[in-house]
Amino acid sequence: MNCLPPTTVRATDDAANLRGRASILSRLRRSDLGIMALLISFPFMYYPKILEGDTQLWVFASAIFAMFTFRTRRFILRSDSPMLLLAALCILAYAMRSELGPDLLRICYKQVAFIVLWMVCRREQGDFFPSAVRLTILIWLAVGLYQYISVALGFPIEIAGRFVEGRGGVPSLTPEPSFYGSLSILHMMYLLSEGQKKNNPYIVCAAASVVLSGSLLALLLLVFPLVKLRMHQRIAVLIVIPLLGIAGYLFITGGLPPRLSSFSTIESGLAGLLLDPSLNLRVGHLYFTLFENLFGSLLLTSPISFMSQYNSFALDSGVFIETGSNFILTTAGELIYGCGIVGALLLILIILKASAQCTTPAKKLEKTAFIVACMLNPISLSNVFFIMYAQQKD
């Protein structure tokens, strides 16, 4: 029998409740600490450049750490099983038809990184990622502006990514301008899906990064966020883009305006498409992997030797230029060429899971179209921004 006065009992219960709440908050803080290294790595996922190629290990190492420390009560869900199985089968399908070497290692890395990031990002419910995306936009824009102004003023600068003065835009902290522009579009789409007014300035900053990148691919992708924008947001973006374009035209010889001027008419546009090495290779890789060699790839009957096969095709076409590596400039093409029907099923599953996050048919169509557009670009399947967007509720 409890002989304590009612006030004492209430005070004791309140103290117990406070201790319980403090314990829960403490557990939440501890369980969330594992994501911090991953968030910090977002702006620097490609820089500093230690390994050859575009892939650096900062995001992957941080994701491995987060997988075992961040909200581990949701470690693996039953719904992850098909994704895990298809990713493992993709590695097997590629390994059966290829030699041991860097290309096989790259495919293994991409599939393992994809499934690790998929599981980690699925545990995050919008508590941390939006802030990390906003910070990444500001850092990449600041570096991009510095590079852009330095080039305009003729200052010698060290640029980590691939940069050809007078031809394209700047890469900021990414491997090349097309990465900078395309990932800035992903940032815009992610923040737009958040539906918060505080994201408006960052969306405009990401649009500015698209112009600084000078990427025609990114400019085409810009259609998606423009459709999603509200009218006042659309006006702000459509003001910023021409202003930066005019500034680029006046002060430097490269960037987006000179590239657009080469496509001013249908005739010059076709000539520019054929003569521009980057566009020629991208269109050629897309056509070869998803049309010319599609059935052989799907049925896993053709051997994996992309550079020799593509160069033979390019020579016979009389239109496309030869490629200098086995790297395929379209993610869907790379996955289907290397992993066949298994890779195609993985792509379909990603699209289905992404569209399932939408509440209306219009949003499902919009998200599906944008995911497909990303996969026709060199945005990697294991890119954390792509995975975040695919899993985001809209």
Report how far residue 2's alpha carbon sits from residue 123's, in angstroms, rounded to the nearest whole number.
44
Residue 39, pLDDT > 90, answer yes
Residue 27, pLDDT > 60, answer no
Residue 197, pLDDT > 60, answer yes
The helix/strand/coil state of 330 is: coil
The mean pLDDT value of the chain amounts to 82
pLDDT at 265: 46
| Lookup result for tokens 């699925």 | 122
**C-alpha distances in angstroms, 292 versus 75, 272, 305?**
41, 23, 15
Structure tokens belonging to residue 215: 């990427």
pLDDT at 43: 93
Interval 68-111: pLDDT, tens? 988 887 777 788 889 999 999 999 999 988 888 888 888 999 99
HSE of 365 in the Cβ direction (CA atoms, 13 Å)? 5
Largest Cα–Cα distance of the chain, in whole Å?
96
Interval 310-340: pLDDT, tens? 999 999 988 899 998 888 989 999 999 999 9
Question: DSSP characters for 70-115?
Answer: SSGGGS--GGGHHHHHHHHHHHHHHHHTS-SSHHHHHHHHHHHHHH
Interval 267-316: pLDDT, tens? 444 555 566 777 888 889 999 999 999 988 899 887 888 999 999 999 99
**Banded pLDDT at 29 (limits 50, 70, 90):** low
pLDDT at 98: 84
Residue 89: name the closest of 289, 290, 338 by CA. 338
Q: In this prediction, what percent of the chain has a pLDDT beyond 90?
A: 40
Residue 266, pLDDT > 50, answer no
Query: In the 8-state DSSP scheme, what is residue 323?
Result: P
| Lookup result for tokens 């990064």 | 209
Cis preceding linkage at 303, omega within 30: no
**Per-domain residue ranges of the chain:** 54-65+78-123+276-394, 130-261
* Minimum mean pLDDT range among 113-127, 195-209, 263-277: 263-277
Q: What angle do CA 259, 260, 264 make, to 5 degrees?
A: 125
Residue 117, pLDDT > 80, answer yes
pLDDT at 204: 87
Residue 51, pLDDT > 80, answer no
pLDDT at 100: 81
Report how far residue 274's alpha carbon sits from residue 280's, in angstroms, rounded to the nearest whole number.
5
Report how far residue 338's alpha carbon sits from residue 104's, in angstroms, rounded to the nearest whole number.
10
Residue 264, pLDDT > 90, answer no
* Minimum mean pLDDT range among 172-176, 196-200, 243-247, 343-347: 243-247
